[in-house]
Amino acid sequence: MEDANLDLAVKMADVGRYFNCGQMCLGVKRLFLQESIADNFVGGLVEILKKKTVGNGMSKETRMGPIHIGSQRQEVEEQVEDAKARGAKELFGGERPKGGDFDKGLFYLPTLMTNVPDDARMTKEEVFGPALPVYTFKTLDEALEKANSSEFGLGSSIWTRNLLHANKAIDKLQAGNVWVNSLHYGYDELPFGGVKSSGVGREHGPEALDYYLEPKGVVVVNV
């Protein structure tokens, strides 16, 4: 939302998407920005990506390593190319780094895309790699509708200083977990799991014990 702490939100969007080369179940897979702050936000995120060193994870300078297997890199590439073919705009990345050690590993540049249409693979599928599609909205209701249009529903977050907005998102977002002004951190005491195609049941928290128990219904009459 336009009233959020934008400096912090930009930094956390970077970590939330590109940490571990984007290979996280709770990673930020789609980013929705209110129109009034969208240009400044993506501009700040692009500046961060320009400075992000991609390379061998054993190097102290490296800030993003490779994708884990070749087929996964290919899938991310195909999702990005599909979005571009449908009119999406590539703000940064969108290709493999070349030369030297890059040719020996499964590297892919951190990628940021705008104008991604609703029928693009990046919109409809999970992107399990370092590519982030950005969408804009006018109102919170519009943002919630777009967020809920996915078949997936594991983690979600809203960035705002307005508690009315935050509580509405908590209530309306179709996701197993909602964070307010926070990255998608997991906590042992917090039930973790998804809705829709993101799974059934919960791990962690006392709720996780329910799946190891067999409830027994008992009725006693006229003792």
Reading the block at residue 126, the tokens are 């999970």
- Is residue 112 within 8 Å of 46, Cβ to Cβ? yes
- Quote the pLDDT of residue 186: 85
The set of residues, in sequence order, having a beta carbon less than 8 Å from that of 199 and lying 6+ positions away, is 154, 176, 193
> Is residue 215 a part of any domain in this protein?
no
pTM as predicted? 0.92
| Distance separating alpha carbons of residues 88 and 44, to the nearest angstrom | 19
- Quote the pLDDT of residue 210: 84
- Is residue 173 within 8 Å of 147, Cβ to Cβ? yes
- Quote the pLDDT of residue 200: 85
The CATH number linked to 126 is 3.40.309.10
H or E element that contains 132: strand 131-137
> Is residue 205 a part of any domain in this protein?
no
Quote the number of domains for the chain. Answer: 1
- Is residue 13 within 8 Å of 133, Cβ to Cβ? no
Closest alpha carbon to 10 in 213, 191, 183? 183
- Quote the pLDDT of residue 25: 93
Alpha helices in the chain (DSSP H): 6-18, 35-50, 70-85, 121-124, 140-148, 163-172
- Quote the pLDDT of residue 147: 97
> Is residue 200 a part of any domain in this protein?
no
pLDDT along the chain (223 residues), means of 10: 98 97 96 98 98 95 96 98 97 96 95 97 97 98 97 97 97 96 90 92 87 90 93
SS3 at position 180: strand
> Is residue 214 a part of any domain in this protein?
no
- Quote the pLDDT of residue 111: 98
> Is residue 163 a part of any domain in this protein?
yes
Reading the block at residue 197, the tokens are 């195609």
Q: Which domain holds residue 22?
A: 6-186
